[in-house]
Amino acid sequence: MALKETLKQKIEEHRPRTTRLVKEFGKVIIDQVTIDQCIGGARDIRCLVTDISYLDPQEGIRFRGKTIPETFEALPKAAGSDYPTVESFWYFLLTGEVPTQAQVDEVVAEWKVRQEVPQYVFDAIRALPRDSHPMVMLSVGILALQKDSKFAGFYNSGKFNKMTAWEYVYEDAYDLVARIPVIAAFIYNLKYKGDKQLPIDPSADCGANFARMIGQCKEYEDVARMYFILHSDHESGNVSAHTTHLVHSALSDPYYAYSAGLNGLAGPLHGLANQEVLDWTIKFQEKYCKDVEPTKELVTKALWDTLNAGQVVPGYGHAVLRKTDPRYTSQREFCLKTPGLKDDPLFKLVAMIFETAPGVLMEHGKAKNPWPNVDAQSGVIQWYYGLREWDFYTVLFGVGRALGCMANITWDRGLGYAIERPKSVTTPMLEKWAEEG
Ligand code: AMX
């Protein structure tokens, strides 16, 4: 069965479960809210629903019930590669089913039709000052696509219907995930390669095409596949996914919603951390290792300098995870099995930081999770392959994150989730409740 038919069947099968939960069990209490959660970023409050992925604090992410190794193992691989295509992962995220090779081939073919980006999008990005951050360019590029939103067109047609609305979100979502790598490659070439643009390769899958569009080597094709899949989804509460969900809940179309999500991803406590990690590591090399090899003692000193200056150690800590992020581990394993990379001085330094930072953060005593997250390991791989413009790294994250965010809002509409509108209270109210105990 084709992707859309499979998805339709899944959504229709799922709807009665959601309806029953609301109608028969709507008042069952699943959490309570404390004052520190209210002030402290709603941490851990259970109030979002998604079946696309689940983040266990100890185990890390599961996509559609599968761990990262299980996901890579289960999905059909790109030709001649150990990694699945992004297209097969898109099918999997949307439907929860591992596609057959024939189903993957169908998605790959459809992806190619959808990935054509209108010229006005490139014009809008080109009109920005060249020294704009590439995340601004990406957000503008996605927002520019809004003009042709099929969901917005459906809403304005006067025939809007809640039961079929998801089909138009699906159309936009699919267009968006197919186009965002092309827009990202355009931004890369515009900003760092003197606007020498490389064409789409119509014979290539998403990962291979992205590698070719940014002038990368064959090996990088797997880096792109791995990177986009690993960064795709981290359940619903993180800033980029939650923002996308929130904005779409007002029936803003997927372009408005994901442009907003990208603006959240651009924060240093979220997706920008990958560029901050490289910045920190390279500055460490320049400051401490001009004439000497890095040592654990030097790394320890640099970490304390950062903490004593009131800054966070980028790439370490997490709001939910309490162990090393399996996305970190997966990328580290890629480094260890890649001959040149495993001996690369920067990778060795990142490995040394991994051995040192958790102990320092534990001694510092603030971070609830002293272990590395996805961003601590991702930049060194890009650096090794010559993609050294680290302000671009969050754009790569944004290309991957689109897969999860778009799968999520397609299901949001399929299940008819309501506009999000939590209730706020005032400080005197909190003080009164505090006194009352
Ligand atoms: N270095 C120094 N201090 C840290 C820290 C780190 N890596 N991680 C947490 N802390 C501090 C917090 O700033 C906070 O200090 P405060 O009490 O003075 O405000 C205290 O420890 C408690 O924070 P927490 O409950 O452990 O973390 P959180 O849920 O509030 O924040 C996160 C989570 C990721 C923002 C935080 O760990 C951090 O800033 N890490 C560094 C930035 C980073 O790597 N971000 C990327 C995360 C993954 C992603 O989204 N891409």
Q: How far is the CA of 367 from the centre of ligand 1 (A)?
A: 6
Tell me the one-letter amino acid at 403: L
Whether ligand 1 lies within 6 angstroms of the CB of 296 is answered as no
User: Cα separation of 116 and 418, whole Å?
Assistant: 33
pTM higher than the cut 0.90: yes
Could you report the per-residue pLDDT of 323-367, keeping only the tens digit for each? Answer: 999 999 999 999 999 999 999 999 999 999 999 999 999 999 999
Whether ligand 1 lies within 6 angstroms of the CB of 313 is answered as yes
Nearest CA to ligand 1 atom 34: 318
N- to C-terminal Cα distance for the chain? 57
Tell me the one-letter amino acid at 412: D
Whether ligand 1 lies within 6 angstroms of the CB of 271 is answered as yes
Is the pLDDT assigned to residue 1 strictly greater than 80? no
The answer to whether the beta carbons of residues 314 and 379 sit under 8 Å apart is: no
Residue 422: strand, helix, or coil? coil
Q: Residue 7 phi/psi, 5° resolution?
A: -65, -45
Please name the helix (run of DSSP H) or strand (run of DSSP E) that holds residue 254, with its range, or none. Answer: helix 254-265
Best residue among 61, 233, 312 to mutate for probing ligand 1, ranked by most atoms within 8 Å of CB: 312
Q: How far is the CA of 317 from the centre of ligand 1 (A)?
A: 5
The answer to whether the beta carbons of residues 60 and 326 sit under 8 Å apart is: yes
Q: How far is the CA of 65 from the centre of ligand 1 (A)?
A: 27
The answer to whether the beta carbons of residues 137 and 187 sit under 8 Å apart is: yes
The answer to whether the beta carbons of residues 235 and 53 sit under 8 Å apart is: yes
User: Cα separation of 388 and 179, whole Å?
Assistant: 23
Could you report the per-residue pLDDT of 375-422, keeping only the tens digit for each? Answer: 999 999 999 999 999 999 999 999 999 999 999 999 999 999 999 999
Burial class (CB in 10 A: 0-12, 13-18, 19+), 16: exposed
Whether ligand 1 lies within 6 angstroms of the CB of 369 is answered as yes
The helix, strand and coil proportions of the chain, stated in percent and rounded to the nearest 5, come to 60, 5, 35
Whether ligand 1 lies within 6 angstroms of the CB of 235 is answered as no
pLDDT above 90 as % of the chain: 97
Q: What is the DSSP letter of 316?
A: B
State both tokens at 352: 């040394």
User: Cα separation of 104 and 167, whole Å?
Assistant: 20
If we measure between CA atoms, which residue out of 154, 151, 210 comes closest to residue 184? 210
User: Cα separation of 199 and 395, whole Å?
Assistant: 19
Tell me the one-letter amino acid at 269: L
Residue linked to tokens 């990694």: 83
Please name the helix (run of DSSP H) or strand (run of DSSP E) that holds residue 60, with its range, or none. Answer: strand 60-63
pLDDT at 130: 97
Q: How far is the CA of 309 from the centre of ligand 1 (A)?
A: 15
The answer to whether the beta carbons of residues 55 and 406 sit under 8 Å apart is: no
What domains, with CATH codes, occur in the chain? Answer: 273-384 (1.10.230.10)
Could you report the per-residue pLDDT of 60-78, keeping only the tens digit for each? Answer: 999 999 999 999 999 999 9
Whether ligand 1 lies within 6 angstroms of the CB of 88 is answered as no
The answer to whether the beta carbons of residues 416 and 162 sit under 8 Å apart is: yes
> pLDDT-derived band of residue 425, with 50, 70 and 90 as boundaries?
very high
Mean pLDDT on 38-59:
97
pLDDT at 136: 98
| Residues designated as active site | 270, 318, 375
- ipTM reported for the complex, 2 dp: 0.99
pLDDT at 290: 81
Residue 66: strand, helix, or coil? strand
Q: Which residues contact 143 (CB under 8 A, 6 or more apart)?
A: 255, 256, 259
Mean pLDDT on 207-219:
98
Q: How far is the CA of 141 from the centre of ligand 1 (A)?
A: 30
Looking at every residue in the chain, the average pLDDT score rounds to 97
User: Cα separation of 174 and 163, whole Å?
Assistant: 19
> pLDDT-derived band of residue 183, with 50, 70 and 90 as boundaries?
very high
Could you report the per-residue pLDDT of 270-310, keeping only the tens digit for each? Answer: 999 999 999 999 999 988 888 888 999 999 999 999 999 99
If we measure between CA atoms, which residue out of 232, 145, 137 comes closest to residue 192? 137
Whether ligand 1 lies within 6 angstroms of the CB of 316 is answered as yes
The answer to whether the beta carbons of residues 265 and 244 sit under 8 Å apart is: no
